[in-house]
A and B are shown apart, each in its own frame.
Chain A
Amino acid sequence: MSPQSKEQPLINLHAVKKTFTTSAGTFDALKDISLSINKNEFVSIVGKSGSGKSTLLNMITGIDKPTTGEVVIGDKAIQTMSENQISKWRGTTIGIVFQFFQLIPTLSVIENVMLPMDFCNLFPISLRRERAMSLLEQVGIADQRFKFPNTLSGGQQQRAAIARALANDPPLVMADEPTGNLDSATSKDIFNIFEELICNGKTLIVVTHDQEIASRCSRTIKLVDGLIA
């Protein structure tokens, strides 16, 4: 943990509440959550199914907005931003790794990695392919770059998804059950990649129900029925 990170947390949640309304009635997924996460921290969010883990991740990534409370990432109060502003901000600030990889099936691996660069225009067009190659090398699937997602194994797809999450060099990477669909050996490889990211100065938040993974993180936030335990 760097000295600066102690001075200014990267993520600040204050009294965040999220209520969903369904035909069955209202349901509080998050109840008064307040927390801070510093730069370069490796945090796991754990809890049982329905405890509010994914909802909390959605709050931090701006995928969803709180019913009440504040979510501040860096100097941005997410709840005040429009959907379009959030998309642009997220593309450059947060890399997301999904449980089901969520690669675009009609794009090759390298094209999937280049896609966020195309949308956010942080890197010149001429450098994008080179950068995508370097990220694929970093996650160890450069030789698979021209293949389409449906021809890759689960582990390879998740590596590609991680490379895509790093495309715009975001300071924060969020992973939702990143090893949920992988065998234990592959899960271990993925976790090694995450640790490398921490070494490279990234902040990493992993949502998981795997206690072993959680134990390898520098900090664990446990959710029970929408509250931090």
Chain B
Amino acid sequence: MFASRWRKLARDLSVNKMRTTFVVLAICIGIFGISVVSNSYSILMREMDKNYMNTNPASATLVTNQLNDSEVQKVRNLPYIKDAEQREKVVGRVQTGENEWKDIWLYVIDDFNDIRLNNFTSESGKAVPGKGEVLFERKALPLAKAVVGQSVNIRVPGGKPTTLELSGSVHDPGLAPAWMEGYAYGYITQDTLHLLGETPDISELKVLVSEDAMNKQHIQDVTAQLKASLEKDGYQVTHIEIPRPGKHPHFDQMATLLFLMEVFGLLALLLSGVLVANLITAIMEQQTQQIGIMKAVGASSLQIAGLYQAMVMVLTVTAMLASIPAGIIGGRGYAWVAAEILNFKIFSYQIPHYVLLFEIALGLLIPALAAIIPIGKGSRITVREAINDYGIKQEKYTNDTRDFLTKTFKRLPRPFILSLRNTFRKRGRLIFTMLVISIGGTGFIVAMNIYASMYNTVDERINAFQYDIQVEFDQPQRPELIENTIGKIAGVSGLESWGGASISRVYKDGTTGNSFNIMAPPSATKLLTAPPMYSGRWLRPDDENAIVINQRVLSSEPDIKIGNEIILRVNKMDTRWTVVGISKELMGRPGSYANSEYLSKVLHKEGYARNAVIVTDSHNPSSQAAVAKRIERDLADQGIQISSMIKIIDYQKALEDHLLIIATFLIVMSVLVIIVGGLGLATTISINTLERTREIGIMRAIGASPRSLTAIIVTEGIIIGLLSWMVAISLSWPLSKYISYKFGMIFFEAPLEFAASASGIMIWFAIVIVFAALASFYPSWKAIKMPVSAAISYE
């Protein structure tokens, strides 16, 4: 048999169905938010690691000249090496349409039946390509507009376009998705490489260390030993690449996503907590007299607090019954979407028990903690205070406040002044209400600001390019020939010939770092303005050995500082350069800039160009595509081979595609915040109005018309909405700046170019006004419809 106080609890909940539903919804939202985040986090991190580790990733890659089989076997037998495999990588181009080509990375594998490291799995068609056949990574198929079973044209530097049969597709989760990088991945045998006309003398030796495979320092020590061993045998190691041990290449993107998810999950939880606190405050205030009676008949403050905490517990458990399963579905759904976009497979959607226990514990704790203050305050009320509560509180409304409002707004209509006074009457409640609405607003505006900042960052980068198409030649070309060929094409309105080369940093021990390109516009260029700078300065016309590197170079060469002198190997020559600036590059490859005059002098290639940058008449994508095709054709007619062609419009699209997953997430979060924030706003204002039913009854009894009462209450709601909107703008500013900084650093390795979203601010303004008006209108309309006698006795 239940004690009567528990019966009271149950009936209180069932009597106030609307209020109960609001509290349950508030708790649901918080638990759902944190549940989706933690569930998807646990699935994604586990499955990403699993996908990556299933490939048996190499601990390090050593760039060497071609090793013979016995040398590779010797490396495998070294005690500190668990396994080794030699593989070549050739960067070529694949035809995607008439005079349309995309870059392709071709991996040349000696024996497809004996892949030891960096494994991939067959998806469709043949698992082993024959001579004249190629396999594509599954995400490269749409990019290359290719279908398994059909043929593709591939060209490698120094070779001719060759038709290969696309005999199968594979899933290679160790690579960044093709759609994201903008180039395709193919897998061929040595025989096919010979067909393409390529005879590489550079090879990649991938090795897996025997012990401590997750320790980068150990891997560095082991590869240093291996390098010495290879050099002793007469081989040359030009570069050693050690990826972050056990970290998937998409780890940073996933970390960005998870960072944003954590922010919004916590925001939802915070919103939920404040909403619960607000609703419980309302319940405690409404039940003041009953609390007084219970205390008068012997209840202690602790018993009263226990009763209402039990009420919160019942509501929490009810909310959990819906939100935990919904969070599981949401978390799994989100993990599926992220995995699809980032090209890895989810082997199991199982959520670890400890994650569910954490969600349950947090779900139980947050509402209980949020309710502690209002319940503590409500249950400590004395019997005298409680019994004397008539539903119209005699607040400490001072003459000073009244005088201030009256003097300030004396020309305004009296009902409006009354609305203003009512708004500030219960300051504690006002702060709570504003907090709920402001958090919702802050979440929305932050999401919109991040969205705006992302695209502002892309725009700022793109705006530095004053040209539309960039062409890189296989070999240096005479600018006159380029101008005669490209300059005559219809639709081309501007052209510059730039220098360029592939360079790599030379270290003290003689090894080199990753190679990267140097772009060298003429010092008087009109087609490139200073890109956004991470630090330092942009090039000056009188600079000689000055170089600006992008922050992607910095991430692999973190010791470089502005003003440092570095040695760069260009065309097998070691040259000295001073780093004057670090520019922001958005997901592009590592690269650098220098003045062409100086670079040409260093290369002894004065009067030659490695790149052409072209301005088109029309910025329409189809017109640009037509011009690009003409450039490809006319250059080919002149016997000039292109190693790459980039349309800025494509680059912009690739950047935007990279941001797609984040943008989608932000849009989803914005919509969710509109729902949650709107619900919070509607809930708190409705309850504020409901509580004043008795006061409304009294005002009607003394002659207030329904119209004037509605006007007063709706105006109050709108004033609260407006105040919270202003608070949300103030809160969102520093928060957006912080998140955009963190986001940029994780995703782009450089802070975002911050932009405030005017549309976000205005959309939230409209939402606040509409929701506040509706939320206050409905309960006031209900109270006005109620007979005066019923309204006066309303509890």
Q: Which residues of A contact B (CB under 8 A)?
A: 23, 58, 61, 63-64, 83-84, 87-88, 90-92, 96, 98, 102-107, 111-112, 114-116, 118-120, 125, 129, 164-165, 167-168
Which residues from chain B contact A165 at a C-beta distance below 8 Å? 297
Query: Contacts A112-B4, A119-B5 given: A84-B302 contact, CB under 8 Å?
Result: yes
Q: Is B303 an interface residue (CB 8 A)?
A: yes
Inter-chain CA distance A105–B3, complex, in Å, is: 16
Which one of B4, B290, B387, B795 has the highest number of Cβ atoms from chain A below 10 Å of its Cβ? B4
Please pick, from A107, A115, A120, the residue contacting B11 in the complex, using a CB distance under 8 A.
A107
In the complex with contacts A87-B295, A96-B297, A105-B795, A115-B384 CB distance below 8 A = no
B766 interface residue per 8 A CB criterion = no
Say how far A59's CB is from chain B's closest CB, in angstroms.
10
Query: Can you offer 16 A-B residue contacts whose CB atoms are under 8 A?
Result: A58-B384, A63-B383, A64-B384, A83-B382, A92-B298, A98-B296, A103-B293, A107-B4, A107-B11, A111-B4, A114-B4, A115-B8, A119-B297, A119-B298, A119-B299, A164-B297
CB within 8 Å for A125 and B301 given contacts A63-B296, A111-B8: no
Chain A proximity mask over B623-637: 1 for CB below 8 Å, otherwise 0:
000000000000000
- Residue in A104, A111, A168 whose Cβ sees the most chain B Cβ within 10 Å: A104
The answer on a CB contact under 8 Å between B296 and A96 is yes
Q: Could you tell me if B298 and A120 are in contact, using CB atoms closer than 8 angstroms?
A: yes
CB distance from A151 to the nearest CB of B (A): 14
Q: When chains A and B are docked, how far (Å) is the Cα of A63 from the Cα of B383?
A: 6
Interface centre among B5, B383, B398 (most CB of A within 10 A): B383
Q: Which residues of A contact B299 (CB under 8 A)?
A: 87, 91, 119
Contact A63 B294 (CB under 8 A): no
Q: B300 to chain A: closest CB distance in Å?
A: 5
On chain B, the residues within 8 Å of A112 by CB distance are: 4
Query: Are B298 and A106 in contact, CB atoms less than 8 angstroms apart?
Result: no
Asked if residues A63 and B387 are in contact (CB atoms below 8 Å), the reply is yes
B126 interface residue, CB < 8 Å from A?
A: no
Contacts of B398 in A (CB 8 A): 23
Name the distance in Å between A113's Cβ and chain B's nearest Cβ. 8
Contact assessment for A98 and B387 in the assembled complex, using a CB-CB cutoff below 8 Å? yes
B285-321 interface with A by 8 A CB criterion? 289-290, 292-303
Q: From residue B23, how far is it (CB to closest CB) to chain A in Å?
A: 17
Please give me the 3 A-B residue pairs with the lowest Cβ-Cβ distance, nearest first. A91-B298, A106-B11, A116-B297
Write the chain B residue with the least CB distance to A55.
B384
Query: Residues of B within 8 Å of A, CB-based: how many?
Result: 31
Alpha-carbon separation in the docked complex, A164 to B3 (Å): 15
- Contact status B293-A119, CB under 8 Å: no
A104 near B298 with CB under 8 A, answer: no
Contact of B300 among A58, A87, A102 (CB under 8 A): A87
B8 and A104 form a contact (CB under 8 A): yes
Given contacts A87-B383, A107-B7, 14 further A-B contacts (CB under 8 A): A23-B396, A63-B383, A84-B300, A91-B297, A102-B289, A102-B292, A104-B8, A104-B290, A105-B290, A107-B4, A111-B7, A115-B8, A119-B300, A167-B297
In the complex, the answer to whether B4 meets A115 with C-beta atoms within 8 Å is: yes
B380 CB within 8 Å of chain A: yes
Bound together, the chains give a CA A83 to CA B292 distance in angstroms of 12
Contacts of B293 in A (CB 8 A): 98, 102-104
Number of A-B contacts (CB under 8 A): 90
Q: Which residues of A contact B8 (CB under 8 A)?
A: 104, 106-107, 111, 115
Query: B5 is contacted by which of A64, A84, A118, A129 (Cβ under 8 Å)?
Result: A118
B interface residues (Cβ-Cβ under 8 A, vs A): 1, 3-5, 7-8, 11-12, 15, 289-290, 292-303, 380, 382-384, 387, 396, 398, 795
CB distance from B341 to the nearest CB of A (A): 52
Give chain B nearest CB distance to A150 CB in angstroms. Answer: 9
Which residues does chain A contribute within 8 Å of B5, judged by CB atoms? 115, 118-119
Let me know if B303 and A119 touch, CB within 8 A. yes
Partner of A87, one of B11, B298, B387, B396: B298
List, in ascending order, chain A residues with CB within 8 A of B795's CB. 105
Chain A residues contacting B292 (CB-CB under 8 Å) are 102
Kindly name the residue among B8, B289, B396 whose own CB sees the greatest number of chain A CB atoms within 10 A. B8
Which residue of the partner chain B has the closest CB to A101? B293
A115: chain B residues at CB < 8 Å are 4-5, 8, 294, 297
Shortest distance from the beta carbon of B306 to any chain A beta carbon, whole Å: 11
A122–B229 alpha-carbon span in the complex (Å): 89
Closest B residue, CB atoms, query A62: B383
B contact residues around A92 at 8 Å (CB):
298
- Complex Cα spacing A64 to B294, Å: 16
B380 nearest in chain A by CB position: A83
Q: How far is the CA of A88 from the CA of B795 in the complex (A)?
A: 27
CA A120 to CA B3, docked complex, whole Å: 12
Of B15, B295, B298, most buried by chain A (CB within 10 Å of CB) is B298
* Complexed CA–CA distance, A61 and B380 (Å): 17
A181 to chain B, nearest CB (A): 13
Shortest CB-to-CB span from B397 to chain A, Å, is 9
Which residues of the partner chain B approach A64 to less than 8 Å between Cβ atoms? Answer: 382, 384
List, in ascending order, chain B residues with CB within 8 A of A90's CB. Answer: 296-298
By the criterion CB–CB under 8 Å, are B290 and A63 in contact?
no
Complex CA gap A58/B396 in Å reads 24
| Nearest-CB residue, chain B, relative to A167 | B297
Q: How far is the CA of A58 from the CA of B382 in the complex (A)?
A: 11
What residues of B have a CB within 8 angstroms of the CB of A119 in the complex? 5, 294, 297-300, 303
Closest chain-A Cβ to B772's Cβ sits at a distance in Å of 31
A125 CB, min distance to chain B CBs, angstroms: 7
CA–CA, A112 and B1, complex, Å: 15
The distance in angstroms between the C-alpha atoms of A168 and B299, with both chains bound, is 12
**Inter-chain contact B387/A102, CB cutoff 8 Å:** yes
A115 to B11 Cα, complex, angstroms? 14
Contact assessment for B298 and A63 in the assembled complex, using a CB-CB cutoff below 8 Å: no
Does A83 contact B301, Cβ atoms closer than 8 Å? yes
Contacts of B7 in A (CB 8 A): 106-107, 111
What is the bound-complex CA distance between A190 and B299, given in angstroms?
26
The residues of B that contact A104 with a CB separation of less than 8 Å are 8, 290, 293-294
Q: For B387, what are the chain A residues with a Cβ–Cβ distance below 8 Å?
A: 63, 98, 102
Please give the distance in Å from A216's CB to the nearest CB on chain B: 26
Instruction: Output the least CB separation between B318 and chain A (Å).
Output: 18
Point out the residues of chain A lying under 8 angstroms from B296, CB to CB. Answer: 61, 63, 90, 96, 98, 102
- The docked-state distance in angstroms from the alpha carbon of A88 to that of B302 is 11
> How far, in Å, is B678 (CB) from chain A's closest CB?
31
Query: Which chain A residues lie closer than 8 Å to B12 at the CB level?
Result: 106
Select from chain B the residue with minimum beta-carbon distance to A122: B298
Q: Could you tell me if B301 and A118 are in contact, using CB atoms closer than 8 angstroms?
A: no
Closest Cβ of chain A to B255, distance in Å, is: 51
B286 to chain A, nearest CB (A): 12
Q: From known contacts A91-B299, A92-B298, infer whether A125 and B1 are also in contact, taking CB-CB under 8 Å.
A: yes
A164 to B398 CA separation, bound complex (whole angstroms) = 41
Say how far B507's CB is from chain A's closest CB, in angstroms: 75
- Min Cβ gap B244→A in Å is 59
Contact across chains for A168 and B290 when beta carbons are under 8 A apart: no
Complex-state Cα separation, A116 to B7, whole angstroms: 14
Given contacts A64-B382, A104-B8, A107-B4, contact A116 B300 (CB under 8 A): no
Which among A114, A118, A125 has the greatest number of chain B C-beta atoms within 10 A?
A118
Say how far B758's CB is from chain A's closest CB, in angstroms.
Answer: 46
- How far does the alpha carbon of A107 sit from the alpha carbon of B12 in the complex, in Å? 9
Closest to B295 in A: A87
Whole-angstrom distance from the CB of A61 to the nearest CB of chain B? 8
Nearest Cβ distance between residue A95 and chain B, in whole angstroms? 8
Q: Which residues of B contact A91 (CB under 8 A)?
A: 297-299
What are the residues of chain B within 8 A of A107 when measuring CB–CB?
4, 7-8, 11
A85 to B, closest residue via Cβ = B300
The answer to whether A63 touches B382 (Cβ under 8 A) is: yes
B481 → A minimal CB distance (Å): 93
A114 to B297, CA, bound (A): 10
Distance between Cα atoms of A103 and B292 in the complex (Å): 11
